[in-house]
Structure 1
Amino acid sequence: MTNLKIQYYITALLIFIISTTFLSAQNFSISKGLPFIRNYSAEEYNGHEQNFDIVQNQDGIMYFANFAGVLEFDGTIWNKIPTSSGMRVLSLAIDKQGTIIVGGLYDFGYLKQNTQGTTSFVSLTDSIENKEEIGEIFKAACLTDANYFISEKKLFISKNEKLSVIDFQNDALSAFVVNNELYIFFDVTTKKQGSHYGLNIFSNGKLTKISSQQSEKILDVKSMFQIRGSKNIAVATSKQGIYRLQEESITSLNIAANDYIKQHSLSCIVSASNRSYGIGTINGGFVLLDSIGNIFQVLDKNSGLQDESINAAFIDKKNSVWLATNNGISKAEINWPISYYNNKNTGLEGKILDIEKVNNTMFFATDKGLYYLRNNSFNRIKGINSACWSMVKDGNNLWVATTLGIYKVNNTIATLSNVKEFTFCLNKSERNRNTLFAGHNGKVSIININSGNLETTNIIDELDGDVQNIAVQGNGDILLEIPPGKVYLYSVETNKLTEIKTENEFISLHINKKGDDIFFSSEKGLYAYDNKANKIIPYKIFPSDTSSHKLWIHDYFTLSDSSFMVTDGEQKNLTLYYQSKNKLNYTQTPYLPIADFSIHTLYNNADDHVFWVGGKDGLLKSNYSTIFNYKAEYKTLIRKITNLNNDSLIGVEEKDKITKQLSYTENSLRFDFSLPAFPAKGKILYRFFLKGFDKDTSAWTILTYKDYTNLPDRDYVFMVEAKNEFGEIANQSVFKFKVLTPVYRTWWAIAIYVILVLALGRVI
C-alpha cells in the first residue's frame, strides 16, 4: 500500500455489459464476500408484507409501494400513507418537479407534504365516477410532457391539471420509460383484428407496434433499459432471457445469465454504477453480474435476505440496493468498502485466529480447524481436527500450531510433525530461517527445520503459564509473552532466561513489532525493553508525538513502510495510520461501521490490494485501491416540531430570513429530526444547539429528538446536524423562531393594570 491516502472504495459488483459476445458459462463466487444487509419486517414498518416499488425523493427520503398504501421512511420513522381507495399501491415515480406520483388499485394521484411535515395522498380520480373502471394501475410513469398511469385496460394522462384517457384494445401487461419514451407491452396470447399486440411505443398520442425478428413469441417484458455506450435498448423477460431492441427491431442476446433467469424468473433489472447491473428474480433472490455477464454472487436467504422473491430493486446514491419483496424490505450494501463472511453459510467455521497466504492460496486458522479459500469456496483441511492457533509460512509449506501439536501443510495435505503437544504460537528466526520457535504451556521449543521435517534442538522450560506470543529480536534473542502481564527475554547465545522487570502490575503486556522495534501494549500505555536496565520504559509509537506512549492499543499491523493499522485495547475500533507529506495522518472513516467488530488478526494481501481481518465475529475483507464516496449525500432534516403543551404540530419552515412567531402557549417544543442515511451496519449520530437557550452544542447522540420546556419569550435558532455511519457530517438544518411575550406581560397590558390600580385608588 504505497503512497496510501484516505482512499474511497467503489467495487464494481454489478458490472454487466449487454452485448452479443458473452461467455456461455456461469461462475458463482464467494471471493467478493457478502455485503452487509438490513432487513425491515412488516412489523417494523407497520404495513403489509408485500412491497412492489421503490423511489427516493430529492431530500433522500425513501418511499415504498406497499399492499397497504405508500410507506415513507426518513431513516428514523416509518409513516404509512393510505390512498383514497385504501387499496394496494403498485407503482411510484418522481416527475421533473420532484413530486411523487402514485398508482394503485382503483386509484392514482400524487403525494403532497404540508408545512407541518405531514405527507398525504391526493387523488386525481375525482372526476371518474366508477372507480372500478380504473382497474389496477401497475405503472406510474413520468415523461417531460406529462404523467402517465397505465392499467390493464386504460392509459390515463395527467397534463396541465387535466386528465385524459385512452382505451386499450387488448390487455396491457407492463410498461417502461426509456429515454423519455413510453413503451407498453400487450398480451400476445390473444390477437384480435387491429388490437394492440406485443411491444408498442407510445408517441404523439398513438401506439406503434415494434417488430420482432424472433421465431418464438416474447410472452412478457419485465424490464427495459438503455445499453450503455449504444443507442440500443435491452428488453428483459421473465423466463425467455434478455433481448435487444435496435432500430425498432427485437433480436435475442445470448448472455451467460439467461439460464439463471429462465430458472428463477426475472422480475427487474437495475443499473448500479458505471457499466453495472443487477437482476431481481421471483424465487432466486438478487443476482450480481461481472463484466462478461457471469453471475459471481447471488443474494438470497443464505446471504441474509429475509425473502428471495424480489418485486422491485432500487439503487441509491451510494450504489446500495433496496429490494421490495413479498415479505418485507431489504437493503444490501453491495458497494461498501468492506464485505464479510459469516460462519453460517460460507463453510468457514469458528473464531479466526490467524491468516496466511501460500502460493496464492489463502489459509485461515480458527478454533474449529484450518480452512483455505480456493475455487471461490472455503474448504476445511482434512486431517486437522483441532483448534489452530498460529501459522508460519516456510517456502511452499505452512507450519500450523494446534491443540494436538505442529502440523505441516503442503498444498492442502496436512501431516502431524514429531512435535505432538499443545502449541499456542509459532515464529521463525530472522537470522536463521531454518529455526522455528514454538510456545507451549510452561515452555518453548527451539526447532530446526530440516528438509521439511522438525527436529527439536532445545527446550526453554520453567516458565509460569502459557506462552502465547513470541517475538524475535534482530540479534536473534526472543521475547516471550505469558498472560497475564508477564514478559521474558531469552538469549539464544547464552541460553539465559530473564523475566523482564515491571514497576507496576499489568493486566496485559502484549507483544507487537514495528519494523525493527519490539514494543509492548498495555492498559497503561506502550513500553519497550531496555536491555541495559532489564526493565520496560515508555515507548513512543510516533517519535514526533511525545504523548504517543500513552495510547491504549492492543495490536499493531504493518501494511507498508508508510502505513499501518491498530486496534484499541479491547481489540476493536480499527484505525489506519499513513504517512503523507512527512506528516502522519490517521482515519477510521472506512471502518467505523465495523467499530464493534472484535479483531484478532489482520493479513495484508498487497498483491490484490486487499487486507483480511479476522476475529471472533467472523472474517472481513477490505479493498483499499479503489474509490468510494463516504460523504453524507443529504442534509439533516427537521421532520416535525410539536407543541408539548397541547400535542399540536407547528409548521416546519427552514428559510433563513423568516422567523416563526410562536405564542407563549407554544413555549414547550419537541424537535424530531433525521438524516436520510440507512446503513445496514453502523449508526447515525446527532448533535443540536438552541441558540438563545443552550450554553453549548450537545454531545453526539443516537437520539433523534430534543425537548425544550418553558422557553422564555425571546428569539431562538435551533440547529441540528448529523454524522453518517462513516463519521462524515451532513449539512445542518436551521429553524428560527420567536416565543412571543404573553399578553399579560405586554406594555399595554401593564399600562391597563396601572390605570386600573389608579382608578381603584381614587374610588377608595
Structure 2
Amino acid sequence: MKMRSLLFVLPILWAAVAQARQLVGAPSVLHFSKQQYAGGGQTWDADMDPQGILYFANNEGLLTFNGHSWKMLPVPNHTRLRSVKAGENGRIYAGAQDDFGYYLADADGVLRYTSLKPLIPAGEREFADIWNIVPYEGTVFFRSNNKIFAYREDRVRVYHAPGEWRLLCRSGQGLYAQDARQGLLQFTGNGWKPIGPAVADKQLLVTAVLDHPQDTLLLFTYKHGIFKLHGGRLYPYLTPAAEALQKARIQCAMEWGNSQLLVGTAEAGCYILNRQTGAVIQQFGLQEGLQHNSIRKIFPDPGQNIWLALDNGIDMIRYNTAIKQIHPDKHQYLSTYAAKVFNRQLYIGTSDGLYVTPLAGNAGPGKSGNTNSKLSPGTGGAVHPDPSGGPLPSGNNGQDGAFNPAGTDNYNDLSFQENRFRKVEQSGGQVWSLAMTGGQLLMGHHEGAFRIGEAAAEPLLKGTGCWLFLPQAARTLIGCYNGLRTMGQQDGRFDKARQVNVLFESLRFLTAEQDSVIWASHPYRGVYRIVTDKDTTLRFTLFTSRHGLPSDNNNFVFRIRGRMVVATQAGIYEFDPVRQTFAPSPWLFPVLGAVPIQFLTEDTGGNIWFVSNKMPGVVDFHRKQGDKPYRTMYFPELKGMIVTGFENIYPYNDENIFVGGEKGMYHINYQKYRQPKKEPRVMISQVNARGEKDSLLFGGFLPAGKASFKTLPAAYAGFHFEYASPACGHGGNMEFSYRLEGFDPAWSEWAARTEKDYTNLPHGRYTFSVKARDHLGNVSSAATYAFRILPPWHLTLLAKGIYAALALAFIWICYLLQKRKFATEQLRHKREQEQLILHHEYEKEQREKQLISLQHDKLATDIQFKNKELATATMHLLQRGKLLFNIREELLLAIKKIEPLPYYPFKKVLRLFEEAEQDTEDWEQFSRHFDEVHNNFLSILKKHYPDLSTTDMKLCAYLRINLTTKEIAQSLGISVRGVETSRYRLRRKLEVPGETPLYDFLLAVTAAAPGVAQNS
C-alpha cells in the first residue's frame, strides 16, 4: 500500500520539480533574425573553427559569423545545407542535398567549395540529404538516409544502411549510428557492429548519444525521453525532467563541462540539466526571450555562450556573463528604481510596485542590523553578512540543480537564486527608493512613504509623493514632492511625519553634513544648504553658478567617505565653508575628471560607483592602472539601459551589484567581471580595394593561418578594411585600434568602430594592423594584412628606365647641343676674336696706314724737303753752272778781245773752270741725296745699266725730277741741242722703244726692282 502510494505521489513530485527552475538573474539573449543574416529561417547545424568564426548550416547555404558581420555562401547546387563541421587544415565540411564537400579559403581569404561527390564510386552517387558530419580518427563520415560515406585521403568509401540510417554521432567511447532495423551500431574500423538492437525493437528515434559512467551510454530520443544503454539493454533514465523532456521532444543534446547537459527540444526551447541527477537547472524558451522554441542544434562556444540554431533564427545565450537581467514580473519588462537585500529577501522597486523573492536559507522575517553590510573587494567566496544579522549560507540548501559557471553550487552570487518573485501587497504604483532604518525597510513611493511589513506595505505618509529617506540619529528625514518631512522612531514604531517649514521645493536628493545641516539639490534650481532644528527649518541658502557651480541645473548632492559632494555636468565639486563657494573636489575631481556625473555611491571597500553619460562605472581603489593607485572601469554593456534621470546603483557586495534599468534590474557580479580573461582575439574580416571598379582582396578566412601578400595596380588608391573580434568570451564590448604602416604615424585611438577607410594612398608598401581591447584593458595581438600598390605606369621601373634613357639622351642631346653651342660660341668667339683681331689689325692697319700716311706725309715732306733741297742744290748748281758758264763765256769773249792775250795765265783759269764743271764731289752728294729721296733710283738704274756714264746718270736724274731741257742743259753745261743728243744716246743705251716716254721707262725700271717700293 505504501509502495502504491509512493508510486502515486512520485509522479506528482517529479512533475512539480520538473518545472524549469528559473533563476533570479537571467543571462541576456542576443537575437539574430533572418533579416540580419540574410538567409533562410531554418538553421540546422552549427560549429566553430579555431579562429573563432562560427558556421551555420542554413536553408540558403553556409552562414558565417565573425562576431560582427554575417556572410552567406550558397551551396553550388543551390540546395539546402543540412550539416556543417569545422575540420582540420582549415576545411569546413558541409552536407547538402545530393552533394557534400568542403569549403577552404583560397589565397585571397575567400571560401571556395570543393565537392567530394566525384570521389564516390560510380553507381553510388545518388543520395538525398546529408544530415550528419562526424570526424573520427582521421576519417570524415557523412550520413544520408541510405548511405554513410567515409572520406579519407581523397577516397570515399560507402556503407549502405541495413534499413535506414537515422543518426550518426560520436562520444568519448566511439562512433555510433542508428539503423531502423538493427538499432544502435558502433563503428569498429572495418564496419558497423550492432550494440543496441532494443532501440529498433522499441522503434526509438535516437537524437544524441552521450557517455555515462560504468560503460553506459545515455540515449536521447525524439519522443520517448532519455534511456541508458548498458550491456545491450535499455533502461529508462528516470529524472525529474523526464516527462517534460518527453513531451517537449528532444532534437539534440550534448555534454557541457563536467556537470551539465544541454538539451534542445522541438517545443520547449533549451534545457540545462544536472548531469548526475538529470534535474533541470534552467530552461530557456519564448518566455525567457528566445525567438523560437524549436531548437535544431546547440553549440556552446569557448566563452560558455550557448548558440541555438532555431527553426526561425539564431540565438545566443550569454550564460556565463557577469551581467544578468532580473525581471521581477515575468510577463512584462518593468523599469526598476531601487533594490535592497533585507531579512534574507531581495526587494526590487519598479514602476509597478515592489517585488520580493526569498533567498536561500531564509528563516523568515527578523531584525536587521547594519543596513550597508557588504564585503570589501577581494573577499572571494567568503560568507556574506546579511542585514538581518545572520549569514546567507552557501550551497544548494538541499535543492538539486543549483549551478554556477564554475561548476560548484554557490549562492554567494544571488543571481543564481531561484526566481520566486512576488509583488508586495499594497505597493502598486511607482516605487522611487528603498531604505533601512531602525531595523525597518522603508519605501519611497509615488503615493507616499511606506514601511514594508511581513504581509504588505504599510503607509507612513500619504497625500504626497516621497522621493527618499535620510536616516539620522533621532529622526528620519523624507525628501518629498513638496518639501522636507521629518519622522521620529521609537521601539520600531514611527511617529507621524511632520512638515519642515519654509522650504517647499521638490527634494529628490538629500545628504547630511551633520544632524542639523542638510544639503539638498533641485535639478533646475541649484543646491540648498538647510539648517534645521528638530522639527522646523531655521534657514536655508541657495547656491547656484554664482557660487562656483558650473551650472544652475543638474546638480546632485551625495555623501562620499563622510564628505558632502556635488555631482555636476563638469565633474565633482565640494563646498568651501571659508569662502562660501564651490570648487572642484581636490580628491575626486582628478579621479573622474570634468565629465558629467548623475549618480554616486560607495561600497564598504571604498570603491566609488557612479553613472556618467548613461553608463555605470566604478573607481576601484584596490586595483592599480599604470601609475595610478586606482582603476576606473565602465560597463559598456549597460550604456543607455539605465533609467535616465533616476539612476540608481546598489552595491550589496562584490558579487552582487544591482543597477536600475529601463527593462528590469541589472545584476553585476563584479568579482567575476574583473577576473582576468583570455587574451582577446582580433581578425581582419574583409579588405576591399576601391578604384573604377571595387575588388575584394581578402575575404576574412585565413589560408594556413596567414593571408597572402597582395600587389595591386596603381588604379586602386582607396581601401576599405573591416575587422572584428570573435563573439565568444568578451561580451562583444570590444574596442579597436588600427594603424596603416607606411601611412599612419601612430596607432589610432581606441574605438568600437569595426571598419576603416583610406583614400588616395600613394604607391608603396603598406601593412594594415588592428588590435582589440576588452573592458579590462587586455589587448590582443595585432592582426595584419600587407599589400603593395604599384606605381602608375609613368612611375614603373620600365618607365623609370625609359625616363633614365630619355634623361641620358636628353643629357646627351643637351651635351651635344651644349657642345655645339660651345663650338658655335667658340666659333663665334673665334670669329669675334678674328673680328677683334681683324678689327685690331684693321685698326692697327689703319693706325699703320695712318702711321704710314704720317710717315708718307713725313716722307713726302722729307722728299719735298729733299726735292726742295735737291731743287735748291740743282738750282744752285744750275746757277753756279750758269754763272760759271757765263763767267767762262765772258772770259772767253774777253780773251778774244785781248790781243795778244797771254795764253798761259788764262789757260790755267780755263782749266779751273773745266775742273769746276767736272767736279764730282757735288755730283756724289747730289746722287746720295737723290737716292734717299727716290728709293735708290740711281743705284738701281746703275745696277741694271752699268754702262751708263755719269752724264747719263745725271740726265736720268734730271729727267726723273722733270727738269726741262733748258734746265738740264744749264745743269750739264751743254746746249739744248746737246741735251737732245744726250737723250737720244740714253734711249739707245737703255734700249727704250720709241713710243715709250723715257720718263715712264725710267720709273718702270726702278719700280720693277726687288725690294723697291714704287714712289711717285
User: Which residue does 1:55 correspond to in 2?
Assistant: 47
User: Which residue does 2:633 correspond to in 1?
Assistant: 588
Aligned residues: 725
User: Which residue does 2:427 correspond to in 1?
Assistant: 384
* TM-score (norm. length: structure 1): 0.86
State how far apart, in whole Å, the 1-side matches of 2:98 and 2:443 are: 68
Q: Do the aligned partners of residues 548 and 54 (structure 1) sit closer, same or farther apart at CA in structure 2, a change above 3 Å counting?
A: closer
Is structure 2 residue 198 aligned with structure 1 residue 198? Answer: no
User: Which residue does 2:476 correspond to in 1?
Assistant: 436
| 3-state SS of paired residue (2:26) | coil
User: Which residue does 1:363 correspond to in 2?
Assistant: 347
1:248, CA displacement in angstroms? 5.5
User: Which residue does 2:62 correspond to in 1?
Assistant: 70
| 3-state SS of paired residue (2:166) | strand
Given the alignment, which residue of 456, 481, 492 partners 2:533?
492
The within-5 A match list for 1:257-336 is 257-290=241-274, 292-336=277-321
* Higher strand proportion (structure 1 or 2): 1
Q: Give 2:159's aligned amino acid.
A: I
Is structure 2 residue 187 aligned with structure 1 residue 142? Answer: no
1:150, CA displacement in angstroms? 1.4
Rg larger for: 2
Given the alignment, which residue of 512, 517, 523 partners 1:483?
523
User: Which residue does 1:254 correspond to in 2?
Assistant: 238
State how far apart, in whole Å, the 1-side matches of 2:707 and 2:294 are: 50
Q: Deviations over 1:289-341 (max 9, x none)?
A: 35743324322222222111110011111110111111111111111111113
State how far apart, in whole Å, the 1-side matches of 2:214 and 2:607 are: 43
1:471, CA displacement in angstroms? 1.9
Q: Deviations over 1:607-631 (max 9, x none)?
A: x931211133431012234476644
User: Which residue does 2:769 correspond to in 1?
Assistant: 719
Q: Are the equivalent residues in 2 in contact too, given 1:576–1:587 (CA < 8 A)?
A: yes
What RMSD in Å do the two structures reach over aligned CA positions? 3.4
State how far apart, in whole Å, the 2-side matches of 1:215 and 1:119 are: 41
Is structure 2 residue 675 aligned with structure 1 residue 619? Answer: no
State how far apart, in whole Å, the 1-side matches of 2:527 and 2:714 are: 67
State how far apart, in whole Å, the 1-side matches of 2:332 and 2:531 are: 37
User: Which residue does 1:101 correspond to in 2?
Assistant: 93
Q: Which moved more, 1:330-339 or 1:480-489?
A: 480-489
Q: Which moved more, 1:642-651 or 1:478-487?
A: 642-651
User: Which residue does 1:512 correspond to in 2?
Assistant: 558
State how far apart, in whole Å, the 1-side matches of 2:167 and 2:291 are: 27
Q: Give 1:102's aligned amino acid.
A: A
Q: Are the equivalent residues in 1 in contact too, given 2:321–2:731 (CA < 8 A)?
A: no
| 3-state SS of paired residue (2:622) | strand
Q: Give 2:533's aligned amino acid.
A: V
Given the alignment, which residue of 717, 742, 747 partners 1:692?
742
State how far apart, in whole Å, the 1-side matches of 2:106 and 2:709 are: 18
State how far apart, in whole Å, the 2-side matches of 1:732 and 1:245 are: 49
| 3-state SS of paired residue (2:806) | helix
Q: Which moved more, 1:401-410 or 1:495-504?
A: 495-504
Q: Are the equivalent residues in 2 in contact too, given 1:213–1:251 (CA < 8 A)?
A: no
Quick one: percent identity of the two aligned structures?
A: 20
Q: Give 2:309's aligned amino acid.
A: A
Q: Are the equivalent residues in 2 in contact too, given 1:27–1:296 (CA < 8 A)?
A: no
Q: Which moved more, 1:60-69 or 1:231-240?
A: 231-240
Q: Are the equivalent residues in 2 in contact too, given 1:368–1:386 (CA < 8 A)?
A: yes
Q: Do the aligned partners of residues 273 and 478 (structure 1) sit closer, same or farther apart at CA in structure 2, a change above 3 Å counting?
A: farther
Q: Are the equivalent residues in 1 in contact too, given 2:721–2:755 (CA < 8 A)?
A: yes
State how far apart, in whole Å, the 2-side matches of 1:403 and 1:603 are: 20
Q: Deviations over 1:243-286 (max 9, x none)?
A: 23446654332222212211111111233334222211111111
Is structure 2 residue 255 aligned with structure 1 residue 208? Answer: no
State how far apart, in whole Å, the 1-side matches of 2:810 and 2:199 are: 99
State how far apart, in whole Å, the 1-side matches of 2:485 and 2:257 are: 55
Given the alignment, which residue of 448, 453, 456 partners 1:413?
456
Q: Give 1:735's aligned amino acid.
A: Y
Q: Deviations over 1:419-459 (max 9, x none)?
A: 54322221211x23xx2211223432211124554323753
Q: Are the equivalent residues in 2 in contact too, given 1:339–1:620 (CA < 8 A)?
A: yes
User: Which residue does 1:6 correspond to in 2?
Assistant: none
State how far apart, in whole Å, the 1-side matches of 2:158 and 2:456 are: 73
Structure 1 regions of 5+ residues with no counterpart? Answer: 1-21, 192-196
Q: Do the aligned partners of residues 755 and 521 (structure 1) sit closer, same or farther apart at CA in structure 2, a change above 3 Å counting?
A: closer
Is structure 2 residue 614 aligned with structure 1 residue 567? Answer: no
Q: Do the aligned partners of residues 224 and 483 (structure 1) sit closer, same or farther apart at CA in structure 2, a change above 3 Å counting?
A: same
User: Which residue does 2:208 correspond to in 1?
Assistant: 223
Q: Are the equivalent residues in 2 in contact too, given 1:471–1:513 (CA < 8 A)?
A: yes
Q: Are the equivalent residues in 2 in contact too, given 1:527–1:549 (CA < 8 A)?
A: no
1:216, CA displacement in angstroms? 7.8
User: Which residue does 1:3 correspond to in 2?
Assistant: none
Q: Are the equivalent residues in 2 in contact too, given 1:506–1:523 (CA < 8 A)?
A: no
Is structure 2 residue 711 aligned with structure 1 residue 671? Answer: no
1:395, CA displacement in angstroms? 5.3
State how far apart, in whole Å, the 2-side matches of 1:180 and 1:666 are: 56
| 3-state SS of paired residue (1:665) | coil
* Higher helix proportion (structure 1 or 2): 2
Q: Do the aligned partners of residues 539 and 241 (structure 1) sit closer, same or farther apart at CA in structure 2, a change above 3 Å counting?
A: same
Q: Do the aligned partners of residues 660 and 386 (structure 1) sit closer, same or farther apart at CA in structure 2, a change above 3 Å counting?
A: closer
Q: Give 2:56's aligned amino acid.
A: F
Q: Which moved more, 1:319-328 or 1:475-484?
A: 475-484
| 3-state SS of paired residue (1:560) | coil
Is structure 2 residue 640 aligned with structure 1 residue 648? Answer: no
Q: Deviations over 1:523-578 (max 9, x none)?
A: 23323344565544442345xx856675542222222234332221x442323423
Q: Give 1:671's aligned amino acid.
A: F
* TM-score (norm. length: structure 2): 0.66
Q: Are the equivalent residues in 1 in contact too, given 2:614–2:639 (CA < 8 A)?
A: no
Q: Do the aligned partners of residues 656 and 78 (structure 1) sit closer, same or farther apart at CA in structure 2, a change above 3 Å counting?
A: closer
State how far apart, in whole Å, the 2-side matches of 1:392 and 1:670 are: 55
1:23, CA displacement in angstroms? 11
State how far apart, in whole Å, the 1-side matches of 2:672 and 2:767 are: 41
